[in-house]
Structure 1
Amino acid sequence: MNFLVKLTTCTLVFLLSFSVYAQTIQYNNYQPNQQYYLGVSIGHGIHVEDSFSEFALTTLTTRLGYNYTSNIGFELRYGNGLSEDEIGSLKRELDSLMGIYAVYTYSIHKKVNLFGVVGITDLEIKQSQRINVNDTSEAGNSLGGVTSITAPNINQSQHSIKKDFSETGPSLGAGIEYKVINRARWIVEAMLYVDGDDVDYGQISGGFRISF
């Protein structure tokens, strides 16, 4: 996590420094107020663990991007879970998703672009597991020095065991965007965020982004 924070900070400093330089030279086929963009998307994610249990985790992801040229850009993303999924006694929810990515865009129509995404993602997933704990006690009655044993009383209580999963790894994805106007675009994307040793997480999402 510390490595990712340092990498993100260095990248932001570089991008901001370069943008000041770029404004004095050229705008790389973008208008001066369209080099940066903000976006929001809602995704249906599939989280798979070693036991091959699949958890469907809905996620809200925000993104901040910078267009280095008309084809190459960089993005920072942060996501959070909107719902949890349950299989048996296990519940899981996406706690956080954050990463930095390079984006390559290719125009196939004046209003339609294809794009590819590569980068690195830090992913954290929360798990809670319900367990039942039985408290068994025997009731005894004393009758004339003789103790008689009655049926045991069973008190059942439910406890929750919590555990966090964390994974950092390379990410790969692709998508399509439709330009409503020069400043606004609809986006559909398929992304494999993490293919790790313990957990895998991929997502299909839809959203929009606005340039400024």
Structure 2
Amino acid sequence: MLEQERRRIETDLFEGKIRGVAATNALELGIDIGHIDATLHLGFPGSIASLWQQAGRSGRRARPSLAVYVAFEGPLDQYFMKFPQKLFGSPIEHCQVDANNQKVLEQHIACAASELPLCLQYDENYFGSGLDCAIVALKNKGYLRTDPCVSPKLWNYIGPEPFSRYIMCNATDLATECVNPHETRAFAERILLYDRHPGGIGIAAQVNASDLVIDF
């Protein structure tokens, strides 16, 4: 789906011009659309927290709502069908974060630096011993630099603005362009390798896309 198509659908959904939309789990992430009355969940989303978060998209602002969970044939879905109390009576899972993951650390440091300059001497207390390597990596990517006129010890953010929004959109997916004689589209690589491979048939907006040329 082209970005302008996605933006148009989002706008129509926010303005109440469409009655329903098929969406990925991106819709669960803090979006407040006040007029959604019902959500339909196709299969268990992977965690109880995600299920409740998705169901919470409907019934905003004290409105009545409906959430329907359609179980698939997988063992986890069928387990919850046999023991629904395990689904509705269990607490939300604890968030598991690897604070030593260098990729995650770099993203957090870039977000922090976009708000206030970083100082290795002080900020290592918050980000740990991996801060030095992360700063070097971000410097090499063109996200951080020092200003000798102010302080050679302060690292200032010089990357895309705002970084927090940029990284939410780009942290997990690398974009690849697919070109056919009619149009060029950008796809996430994880989707591309499944159903946008050369010779594959992809359907978007009732248009078949075949004979794709992929340039990684």
Give me the TM-score of the superposition, normalised by structure 1: 0.20
Q: Which has the higher contact order (CA 8 A, sep 6+)?
A: 1
Bigger Rg over Cα:
1
Higher relative helix content: 2
Higher relative strand content: 1
Give me the TM-score of the superposition, normalised by structure 2: 0.20
